[in-house]
Chain A
Amino acid sequence: MSKRIWQHPEVPADETTVSWRSVGQLEDTPHFRSWMEREFPQGVAEMANEEDAEVSRRSFMKLMGASTALAGFGLAACRRPESYIIPYNKAPEWVIPGKATYYASSMPRPGGAVPLVVTTFEGRPTKVAPNSLHPDMSGTDAFAQASVLDLYSPSRSRTVLNNAQASSRAEFEKVLATVAADGAAKVAFVFGHDDSPTRARLIKDLKAKFKAAEFFAYEALEGTQVLADGVAQVVDFEKADKILSLDSDFLCLDGQGKTSAFFNRRKPEGAAYDKKANPDSMNRLYVVESVYSMTGGMADHRLRVAPSQVLRVAAQIARELGVNAGSAVEAITDEKHLKWIKALAADLKASGSKSVVLAGSRQSAAVQQIALAINAALSSAAVKGVKRDTSGLGNFDGLVEKLKGGAIDTLFLLTPANPVYDAPANAGFEAAMAKAKTVIHLGSRTDATAHKATWHVPVTHYLESWGDGRTLTGVYTVVQPMILPLYGDCVSELELLAALLTADGKLITGETADGKPSPAYDAVRATFEAIGGKGDEPWKKLLRDGFHAKSTYESAELTAAAGTISAPPAASGVEVIFSTDGSVYDGRWIDNGWLQEAPDPISKISWDNAALIAPETAKNLGIYDEIVQLETERAAKSPDAEGPQRTGPLIKVKVNGEELVLPAMIAFGQAENTVVIPLGYGQGFDKEDKFNRNAKGNSPASHVGLVGVNSGFNAYPLRHSETKYFATGASVEKAEGKYPLALVQEHFAMYGRALAREISTMEDEKKGDFAEQLQNVAKQGNDAHAPENISLYKQEDKKGDPHLSDKIHQWGMTIDLSSCMGCNACLVACQAENNIPIVGKEQVMKGREMHWIRMDRYFAIEKPEAGKEKDVFDLGNPALVPQPVACMQCESAPCETVCPVNATVHDQEGLNVMAYNRCIGTRYCANNCPYKARRFNFFDYNKRNPLIAHNLYKGPFGEKQVGTAPHLQRNPNVSVRMRGVMEKCTYCVQRLKDAKIRQKRGQKQEVLLTGERSSQLSVSNETLRIPVDSVKVACQEACPAGGIEFGNLLDEDKSVMGRAKKSERNYELLHYIGTKPRTTYLARVKNPNPTMPDAPSIGKATIHMH
C-alpha cells in the first residue's frame, strides 16, 4: 500500500496556555518502570497509595499538561487537519496522562474547614468530593461543590489594583516592604471567621513584630457570640434524641456539628439499612422558625412565628422546663402555641440529657442564653464547648471604632467578606475606612471593597495555595495546592502574612524563583511540626490523609457571658428578615454560575432574590387581591403567570429609614406578618438592568462579573447593627410594575399524586400504625388500585438471553427522602462532574436549565373537611418534601423506543445510556420521559456565552467562550455536548467504566503474582465484579445526608443500596406505568410526638391519596 507522506508545517512559535506556567526545572531522572515494578503496578488515582507521591507532587504543577492542539483547517491537510501530541518535556512522576489523581485537601469556611478530596487531571483540579476518611466528614454542600468553579471564574480578580486602577504587583510589593520594615506601624488585620492554626501562629509572630498591630475578624453573617471569646458550641447529634431548633438552620447554613449523625438517625433502619425499621431509633426534630429553612423542612414539628416571637417561644419553653428565662419576656398567650410548647417541653424533659436545644447563631443573645440555659438544665450530653484558635480577635464594632479613632494607618482586609457592601448600614464603615492611610484588600473578586481600598490584591484560590484549618470539631486539616496560582499576581493570606514577617517584606507566592516552595508551605509545615511531630513521615501522612485526627480543639465551658435576658423588640409593623441566601450565601458567591443557577432550595428562584411573603400577609398588605392558595386543583398558572412570563409584583419595603423596591413572591410555611429578603444580591448593574440601577453609579457592573451582574436586590442597606438578622416596624406597600423571576419549579403541590411519599411513626386513623403504613408505602396513591403492568414481551434477544444480561454488574440507586433535605449539593456536584453548562436567567425562565438532577420541592397539606378547619393546628404551615429527580434508568425505558436513530438504548448493566454524538435532537425521548429527566441543548451553551445579553440569539455572530478559563474545569472523561443534542444522567457512567477497567487490571496482576501462564487463569464473575460499594457516583458522594445510595444489585445485601432496596419504604416513582426504574425512593418517615397538637397532620403528605 502506498503511503502518503505528509509534510507537516513548521512548528509555530510555541504558544502556551495562559493559564499554565511553562516548564520549570525538575529532577532529571525520569522514572522508568522495570518489569519488576510492573508486577506491582503503581496504584494510581487512589489516595491510599499516594504516600510516596508527595515528594514530587509539587513538581507536576509546574509542567504543562499533556495536551493536543489542533492546528487550523487551512494547514497542509486536505484529508484531515493536523493535530499534535505535545508530551511533557520532562515527565513528572505520579502523573499518568489520562488518569485522575486525587489529593486530600480542605476548603476553609467560617463554620469550619470542609475536608475534601480533589480530583485533578494533569494538574487541573476539576472536582471536589468529601474526604470520607475524615472523622468530621459530613458530605459537602453546594458551596463546597461549586467552589472549584471559582478557581477558573473569568470574573476572578487577577491583577493588583491601586485605588481601583490597574496597577502592578511590583508597585504593591514596594508598599508591603515599607510596612514590613516599620515595626511601629499602626497596622490592623481583619480576618474571616475560618480557623487556621498557622494563621493563629503567625498572628502571634506579627504581634511580636508589630507592637501596634490590631487583629479583628469580620464576616457579614457572623452571628451573635454569647459564649466566651473563641468558645464555640459543638453538637454531637448521635447523642441527641430530641432536638429543638430555635431558628437554627443547623443542617445547612448555620452548622453546629457533624450533621451526618443527625441524618443517620432519620432512617428507621439505621444508616446502613441493616436493621429492621424501628421508629424508636429515630430522633425527633422540633423547629421554631419564621421561614422555611432546610432544617425546618426536616422538622417533625414546626412552629412558624415571627422572628421577634422566637424569643417569647424560647422563654416559654424555658419556663415550662423550670429554667429561668428572666421576667422581661412576655409569656405566650396563644392557646394553640401554648399547647404546642407544653407538649414539646414535656418531651424534652422526658428525654433529659438526650435532648438538645439549638439557637440560631444569628438570633439575639437572649435566645442563645436561653438555649444554653435549657441545655444546662437538661444536662444535655449532645453539646460541648470548644476553644477555637480564633480567640483574641476583635470584632467589627471594635474595628470601626479604632478606624474612626485613627488608631489604624494600614488596614489589611483579609476577610472573604465585602465590608463596604455588607457591613451594617449605620456602622459607617466606609467613612471609617477612609481614615486609614492605606487599606489593602485581599480578595478574589473586584467587589465594592476592592474598589474602595487603596490596594486590591487578588487572592489565590484555596486549590492553589498552602494553608491549614480546623473542622467544626477542631480536627486539624491541611489545605494543599493542586496547581500553581493561575494568575501571577495572586497572593494567599499566609503568603502575605509571611511576607510581613520577613525583614524586607519580600512577597513570594506560588514558588520561589529558584523553585523552592512558597513560604506558606514552610509556615504550614512549621505549624504542623508542633502539632503532629517533626520529620517527613507525619507530614506525608497528613498530606495523604488530609488531616491529623489527634489534634482537635480543647474543650471549654459553655457558659454565656453575663447578661440579663432582654425583651424582644416590640412587634410593630411588618418584620423584615435578612436571610442567608442558599445560593450566594452572604453575597460572596454572586459570581459563581453554578450556585446562581441552582434554584434556591425553598423558593426555587434562581439568579435573583425576592421578598418572600406568606399568602395571608400578602393579601393583607394589598400585594394580591386574594389569598394565593397552594394550588392543587386546576393546575392553573399562578397569578404571576408561568415560564417566560413569570413575574413578581414589585413591592416597596421601608425599614430602618431605608427603602427597597423588589419583587415579591408567595412563600408557604412562612410566619405571617414577615417579609424575608435574602442577602447578597444586587452588587452590580449594567445597561441591561431592568431598573437602570447602574445609572446611579453606586453599584457599577465592574463590581461583579457576567454571572452576578444585574442579579437581584441588595438588602444590606436596610440592615442596621442592631437589626442584623431581622428588623421590626417595617412597612410594605405595593409598587408599580413587575419584575421577571426565573422559577425552576412553578407548581408546589403534588396535586393528589403520591410522588414524594411520606409516612409517620404515629398511628393514623385510616392507615394504621407505623408497621401498616410502612407496608403500604408501595401502595400509596394511584398504585393502590392500578393493576400491575405486565409485559407481553419477554426481554430477550434472539438467542433467548435476557437483555440485562450482565452477570457482573447491575447498577441501582436509592434515594432516601427521609434524609434528603433538598440542599442542592447533589445538583451542583453533578454539574461539576458531568460538564453541565449554565444557561443564564433568560433561559431558566424559559425552562431550559440543564441540571441533570431536578430538585423538586413539594408543599403538602391535607385539606380538612369543611367545618373542621379549626381543628388543624396551622393551615398555613404545609409540610415540605423535597424530591431529587434524575434519570431513573428505567429497565423498560419509554425514551428508548421512540428514538429513531438508536441514540439512547440500554446496556447490559441496566443503564439507560445516551450517545450524544448519535443524537439528532428530535426531543421525542424527552417528551416520552415520565420523569422529565432529559435536558436538551437548545443552544450551544458551551460555545456561546449565555451570560452576555442576547448572545445566544445572535447565532454565529454571537460571542464565543471557547478557550476561556471555565473550560479548564471540564471533566475530560465526559463529552462536552454541542447544541441540538439531548443529555441526561447516566449514573456517572465514566466512573463506572473506570472502576470496571481498574478491576480488570486485577486479573493481570494476579497472573504475574502467581507466576503462572496467563492462559491458565480462569477469571470468574466475582473477580471482575468491583468491590462492594467501591464506586460512588457524584451526587451520592456529595450528599451530606447520606440520602443517595448507589451500587451493584448483584451484590444484594452486601451493598448498602441493596439493603435499602429491600426496605419496606422502598417504592418506585410512578410505578403504575411500568417503567421499572432502577432508581427508587425510600419514603420519608416523620417521627411526630403524639401529644403535640399538630401531630395529627404530620407525615400525611401522601398517605391519604388514592
Chain B
Amino acid sequence: MSTTRKRVYGYLAEFGSASALYKAAEKVRDAGFRKWDCHTPYPVHGLDGAMGMKRSILPWFVFFGGMLGTATGFGLAYITQVEIYPTVVQAKPANLFTVPAFFPIMFELTILFSGFTTLFGLLALMKLPRLNHPLFASRQFHRATDDAFFIALEARDPKFHFDKTRAFLEEIGGKSIELVEEED
C-alpha cells in the first residue's frame, strides 16, 4: 500500500447469499441510508425494491431518441424525395402519398436511434466508463463479479458514522467488513 493520504470511501460488507443480502438491504433502506449500493455477480431480483430505488428513467430517453429517429427518417426521405429533388420512379407519386415507401427507413432509423440512446443513456446513468474506483482497491471486491454479495455504505452518506455504521453492518449479518479507502 502506498503512503499517500487516503480518503475514506466507506464500508464494504459481504453477505453469504442473495437472500442474506436482500434482507440486509431492506434493513439498510429502512435505516435511511442514501449513498450505498449492493454489489452482486448477477442482478438479484427485487433488490431494487429492497433498496428503495425508483424505476430507471432510461425508457424516457429511449422514447425520445426513437422519436427523433422516426423524425429523422421521415425528414430525410420526405425532404430529399419530395421537396429538394423529386424523381419519377415507376410512376410513383412524389408527394405525401409516397410516404409509405419511407416506412422501412423510418422504422430502421427509429430502432437505430433508440439503440444509440439506450447505449449512451445507460452509460450516462451508470456513470460509466469509470475505470478507477475506490472499491477496486478493496481486497475482496473482485469477488463481487464471481460469487460474493456485498453492501457498500459510503462515507458521504450523512448517516454514516465510523463506528455505528460498522456495528450496524455487523448487526444485519455483514461479514468481512472492510473500510475502503480512496487513494488521493
Direct contact of A and B (CB under 8 A): yes
**B89 and A793 contact, CB distance less than 8 A:** no
Q: Mark A777-804, 1 if CB is under 8 A from B, else 0.
A: 0000000000000010111111010011
**A793 and B87 contact, CB distance less than 8 A:** no
**A798 and B86 contact, CB distance less than 8 A:** yes
Task: Judge whether A894 is part of the interface by a CB distance below 8 angstroms.
Answer: yes
**Shortest beta-carbon distance from B132 to chain A in Å:** 47
Chain A residues near B98 (CB, 8 Å)?
793
| Residue in A791, A793, A794, A899 whose Cβ sees the most chain B Cβ within 10 Å | A793
A893-915 contacts to B, CB under 8 A, are 893-894, 896-897, 899, 902, 905-908
Task: Judge whether B131 is part of the interface by a CB distance below 8 angstroms.
Answer: no
A734 and B96 alpha carbons, distance in the complex (Å): 68
- Nearest-CB residue, chain A, relative to B86: A797
- Which one, B86, B89, B93, contacts A896 given CB within 8 A? B89
Query: Which 9 pairs of residues, A with B, have the shortest CB-CB distance?
Result: A896-B89, A906-B88, A897-B90, A892-B91, A798-B95, A905-B87, A803-B88, A797-B94, A795-B91
Chain A residues near B133 (CB, 8 Å)?
none
A804 and B97 alpha carbons, distance in the complex (Å): 17
Sample 6 A-B pairs with CB under 8 A, ordered by A number.
Answer: A803-B91, A803-B94, A891-B91, A892-B90, A894-B90, A897-B90
**Shortest beta-carbon distance from B57 to chain A in Å:** 39
Task: Judge whether A654 is part of the interface by a CB distance below 8 angstroms.
Answer: no
**A796 and B88 contact, CB distance less than 8 A:** no
Task: Judge whether A1076 is part of the interface by a CB distance below 8 angstroms.
Answer: yes
A894 and B92 alpha carbons, distance in the complex (Å): 10
Chain B residues near A899 (CB, 8 Å)?
89
- Which one, A793, A800, A907, contacts B91 given CB within 8 A? A793
A893 and B90 alpha carbons, distance in the complex (Å): 4
**A905 and B95 contact, CB distance less than 8 A:** no
**Shortest beta-carbon distance from B83 to chain A in Å:** 8
Q: Mark B82-122, 1 if CB is under 8 A from A, else 0.
A: 11001111111111111000000000000000000000000
A803 and B86 alpha carbons, distance in the complex (Å): 10
A761 and B96 alpha carbons, distance in the complex (Å): 51
- Nearest-CB residue, chain A, relative to B87: A905
- Which one, A798, A892, A893, contacts B94 given CB within 8 A? A798
**Shortest beta-carbon distance from A547 to chain B in Å:** 45
- Nearest-CB residue, chain B, relative to A796: B93
Chain B residues near A796 (CB, 8 Å)?
93-95
- Which one, A791, A794, A894, A905, contacts B88 given CB within 8 A? A905
- Which one, B82, B89, B96, contacts A905 given CB within 8 A? B89
A892 and B86 alpha carbons, distance in the complex (Å): 16
Q: Mark A881-895, 1 if CB is under 8 A from B, else 0.
A: 000000000011110
Chain B residues near A894 (CB, 8 Å)?
90
A908 and B94 alpha carbons, distance in the complex (Å): 13
**Shortest beta-carbon distance from A929 to chain B in Å:** 12
**B89 and A794 contact, CB distance less than 8 A:** no
A580 and B166 alpha carbons, distance in the complex (Å): 110
Q: Mark A797-821, 1 if CB is under 8 A from B, else 0.
A: 1101001100000000000000000
Q: Mark A1033-1073, 1 if CB is under 8 A from B, else 0.
A: 00000000000000000000000000000000000000000
Q: Mark B58-97, 1 if CB is under 8 A from A, else 0.
A: 0000000000000000000000001100111111111111
**Shortest beta-carbon distance from B101 to chain A in Å:** 8
**Shortest beta-carbon distance from A893 to chain B in Å:** 6
**Shortest beta-carbon distance from B105 to chain A in Å:** 11
Chain A residues near B92 (CB, 8 Å)?
793, 795, 897
Chain A residues near B94 (CB, 8 Å)?
796-798, 803
A906 and B90 alpha carbons, distance in the complex (Å): 8
Interface contacts beyond A803-B88, A897-B89, A906-B89: sample of 13 additional A-B pairs, CB < 8 Å, sorted by A: A793-B93, A795-B92, A797-B94, A798-B83, A800-B95, A803-B91, A803-B94, A893-B89, A893-B91, A899-B89, A906-B88, A907-B88, A908-B88
A794 and B98 alpha carbons, distance in the complex (Å): 10
- Which one, A791, A797, A804, A892, contacts B95 given CB within 8 A? A797
Chain B residues near A797 (CB, 8 Å)?
86, 93-95
- Nearest-CB residue, chain B, relative to A894: B90
Chain A residues near B89 (CB, 8 Å)?
893, 896-897, 899, 902, 905-906
Chain B residues near A906 (CB, 8 Å)?
87-89, 91
- Which one, A794, A891, A902, contacts B93 given CB within 8 A? A794
A780 and B171 alpha carbons, distance in the complex (Å): 94
Chain A residues near B97 (CB, 8 Å)?
793-794
- Nearest-CB residue, chain A, relative to B85: A902
A146 and B96 alpha carbons, distance in the complex (Å): 50
**A896 and B95 contact, CB distance less than 8 A:** no
- Which one, B82, B87, B90, B91, contacts A902 given CB within 8 A? B87
Chain A residues near B95 (CB, 8 Å)?
796-798, 800
Chain B residues near A908 (CB, 8 Å)?
88
**Shortest beta-carbon distance from A137 to chain B in Å:** 38
Chain A residues near B83 (CB, 8 Å)?
798
Chain B residues near A902 (CB, 8 Å)?
87, 89
A501 and B97 alpha carbons, distance in the complex (Å): 81
- Nearest-CB residue, chain B, relative to A799: B95
Chain B residues near A891 (CB, 8 Å)?
91
- Nearest-CB residue, chain A, relative to B94: A797
**A795 and B93 contact, CB distance less than 8 A:** yes
**Shortest beta-carbon distance from B158 to chain A in Å:** 61
Chain A residues near B82 (CB, 8 Å)?
798
- Nearest-CB residue, chain A, relative to B98: A793
**Shortest beta-carbon distance from A551 to chain B in Å:** 54
Q: Mark A346-389, 1 if CB is under 8 A from B, else 0.
A: 00000000000000000000000000000000000000000000
| Residue in B82, B94, B98 whose Cβ sees the most chain A Cβ within 10 Å | B94
A908 and B92 alpha carbons, distance in the complex (Å): 13
Chain A residues near B86 (CB, 8 Å)?
797-798
**Shortest beta-carbon distance from A224 to chain B in Å:** 58
A821-849 contacts to B, CB under 8 A, are none
Chain A residues near B88 (CB, 8 Å)?
795, 803-804, 896, 905-908
A71-113 contacts to B, CB under 8 A, are none
A798 and B87 alpha carbons, distance in the complex (Å): 11
A793 and B88 alpha carbons, distance in the complex (Å): 13
- Nearest-CB residue, chain A, relative to B82: A798
- Nearest-CB residue, chain A, relative to B80: A902
Q: Mark A22-46, 1 if CB is under 8 A from B, else 0.
A: 0000000000000000000000000
**Shortest beta-carbon distance from A519 to chain B in Å:** 59
**Shortest beta-carbon distance from A705 to chain B in Å:** 44
**Shortest beta-carbon distance from A1077 to chain B in Å:** 12
Chain B residues near A795 (CB, 8 Å)?
88, 91-93
A849-893 contacts to B, CB under 8 A, are 891-893
**Shortest beta-carbon distance from A909 to chain B in Å:** 11
**Shortest beta-carbon distance from B81 to chain A in Å:** 9
**Shortest beta-carbon distance from B176 to chain A in Å:** 62
A388 and B46 alpha carbons, distance in the complex (Å): 111
**Shortest beta-carbon distance from A930 to chain B in Å:** 12
A899 and B82 alpha carbons, distance in the complex (Å): 17
Chain B residues near A800 (CB, 8 Å)?
95
A609 and B89 alpha carbons, distance in the complex (Å): 43
Q: Mark B154-174, 1 if CB is under 8 A from A, else 0.
A: 000000000000000000000
A800 and B94 alpha carbons, distance in the complex (Å): 9
A791 and B98 alpha carbons, distance in the complex (Å): 13
**Shortest beta-carbon distance from A694 to chain B in Å:** 53
- Nearest-CB residue, chain B, relative to A910: B88
Chain B residues near A804 (CB, 8 Å)?
88
Chain A residues near B87 (CB, 8 Å)?
902, 905-906
A1077 and B86 alpha carbons, distance in the complex (Å): 22
- Nearest-CB residue, chain A, relative to B83: A798
Chain B residues near A905 (CB, 8 Å)?
87-89
A794 and B97 alpha carbons, distance in the complex (Å): 9
**Shortest beta-carbon distance from A913 to chain B in Å:** 10
Chain A residues near B91 (CB, 8 Å)?
791, 793, 795, 803, 891-893, 906, 1076
**Shortest beta-carbon distance from B151 to chain A in Å:** 56
- Nearest-CB residue, chain A, relative to B91: A892
**Shortest beta-carbon distance from B103 to chain A in Å:** 15
